[in-house]
Structure 1
Amino acid sequence: MTRAYGTMLPHVLTLSGIAIIGVFLVIVSLRETAPSVAWGLALTAVLLGARHAFDADHIAAIDNVTRRLSAKGTPAGTVGFWFSLGHSSVVVVTGVFVAFGAGLARDLVLAEDSAARFGLGLWGLSFATFVVAVFGIVNLVSLIGLLRRKDDEAGSAPDGPLTIAFARLLRAVDRPRRMFPIGVLFGLGFDTAATIGLMIAAGTTAAGSSAALALSLPLLFAVGMAVCDTADSLFMSNLYGWASRGRNRFRRYNIVITGLSVVVAGLVVIAGVVEVGAETETFALPEVDTSYLGIVATALFALIAVAAALTVRRVRGARSVEASVIA
């Protein structure tokens, strides 16, 4: 555990550096912007980033990839960091273009019915659905192994036709930093970038078109998102590691955690398929609302962690009593 947190130091320093630059730009903007406006927009950007980290596709992608890497014995605590860094890079680049008045970027942000905006949105949605589906199916196979009491196999990555079918993607994401390009491709869906772009366009207009403030907003958005995404993968990595131990009690937790990850992934995939059908007008199915799915899933994982901590405490207490009786 200590070693896992120790390896986080470079990532913490990176996020701290981005945050410092963002805050410095806000301070610079105070020369031409009212403090209430500048700090209000800055706080809003951070909160928007944090909220976006709890979107169901983020939770499903990060948790399911973390589960697979943990099962292979690969330290997975930084999966969320690399994913959010890739995702937010699209936001930052778009924000810079919008801040400096690049015509194409502003058109993509402001014109919701443009062909380019539609194409990017459809791409991001389809790619996110595919990635979540692949890792969700892989973890479903692991869950089936757990339910069949194959303890030695439950923590390992499944082999066979499934691995062959998705081999390219599974090989591509074999360590946390490989989530960076996945995050970039998620970000090309452009909805997130458009949100922060609209905020920059509206906010800087109200604030007197401060370039420093405009540049700070995507950076602070990225920090809010990255902190929450990183915390998610670090938490899930430790929880999976604890639950994958061989004893029966831990095995039951492993089933619950893996099952919940698979269910979340399944709901995200269903919602994605339904939305793709609606966007392309190829088929119409009842809409699946996943607005709060990520928050609900996080809360359930937190409850599982509390139950796990109480279990460990009870086991240690029982052993202590037993040892005193023997003595």
Structure 2
Amino acid sequence: MTGLDLFAVALGVRHGVDPDHLAAVDGLSRVRPSPYNGILFALGHGGVVTLLAFPAALLLKGVDLEALHLPTFLLLLVGGLNLYRLLRPEERAPARLPLLHPLLLGVLFGLGFETASQLSALALSAELSPLRLGLLFTLGMLLVDGVDGLLASRLQNLARDSERAKRASRFLGWAVVAVAFLLAAAELSALDLEALALPLGLGLFGLLVSLRLYALRPA
């Protein structure tokens, strides 16, 4: 791999650790548990990035997709459903909503043009073929979001038989609700949280790993 190849992968990793990605993937795991949530989310998002990297797709730069606030409303949906599950754990949330399919959710997040890292990845298309750019960028996201989805799903499975894991799952649920609503409120109020995005994302990922380890400890 060339230096630009590695840079494309690194941008994908950086994009995958954004808190809105992790909140969406972790939140999905409470509503529709599956070890493939993170993988499908990253593939959907990466597919959009790949298409947007082609020169013909640059025409979309004249369309103000950010004005649609797609990721914002999707975060509100995921956060709201997680809040519903936390307050009424005996009832099942509507997991079969089409918007809750991780592949479609990843596509819609990708259409939001929501981070500077995605725009940086598109700029690389002048040096790399669009297909190669998209594959490498998606690979980087898969490394983070795929692992995140797998860990979150396993934590939910452990919560079925372990009181310790159930407490960890609820704590993660409240963290997802808080992060999802915080990011949505910041976006709707035009508050720039870009400087906090990386530490917030790393903190959420670290919290998931810590809760997973806590759940695996013997009682």
**Considering the TM-score relative to the shorter chain, is it more than 0.5?**
yes
- 1:66-77 alignment runs, 5 A limit: 66-70=29-33, 76-77=34-35
Cα separation, partners in 2 of 1:260 and 1:244, compared to 1, 3 Å: farther
What is the rounded CA distance, in whole Å, between the counterparts of 1:233 and 1:274 in structure 2? 29
Q: Is structure 2 residue 151 aligned with structure 1 residue 235?
A: yes
Task: Provide the residue aligned with 2:135 in structure 1.
Answer: 219
Change (3 A) 1:107 1:230: closer
Q: Which residue of 1 aligns with 2:92?
A: 157
Distance (whole Å) between structure 2 residues aligned to residue 107 and residue 180 of structure 1: 21
AA of the residue aligned to 1:52: H
Partner of residue 58, structure 2: 105
RMSD in angstroms over aligned alpha carbons? 2.5
* CA gap 1:45/1:262 in 2 versus in 1, 3 angstroms: same
* Unaligned segments of structure 1, at least 5 residues: 1-25, 27-38, 71-75, 109-114, 147-152, 164-168, 205-210, 276-285, 316-327
Residue matched to 1:142: 85
**Equivalent of 1:269 in 176, 179, 184:** 184
Separation in structure 2 between the aligned mates of residue 233 and residue 200 of structure 1, nearest angstrom: 29
Which residue in 2 is equivalent to 1:197?
A: 122
Indicate yes or no: 2:47 matched with 1:89: yes
Write the deviation string for residues 74-109 of structure 1: whole angstroms up to 9, x where unpaired: xx11111111111111111122x23xxx4x61783x
The normalised TM-score by structure 2 is: 0.86
Match of 1:291 among 197, 200, 218: 197
**Offset at residue 267 of structure 1 (A):** 1.6
How many Å apart are 1:234 and its aligned residue?
Answer: 0.8
TM-score of the pair, normalised by structure 1: 0.59
Q: How many residues get paired?
A: 215
AA at the equivalent of 1:157: R
Equivalent position SS for 2:197: coil
Cα offset, 1:122, TM superposition: 2.3
Show CA shifts across 1:279-307 (max 9, x none).
Answer: xxxxxxx5445412111111111111222
Contact 2:186 2:192 in 1 (8 A): yes
Aligned-partner residue type, residue 136 of structure 1: G
Cα distance in 1 for partners of 2:41, 2:49 equals 13
Structure 2: any 5+ residue segments left out of the alignment?
A: none
Match of 2:108 in 1: 185
Paired with 2:37 and 2:209, the residues of 1 have a C-alpha distance of 18
Cα deviation, residue 128, structure 1: 1.0
- Name 1:260's counterpart in structure 2: 175
Name the counterpart of 1:129.
72
Shift of 1:252: 2.2
Bigger-Rg structure (1/2)? 1
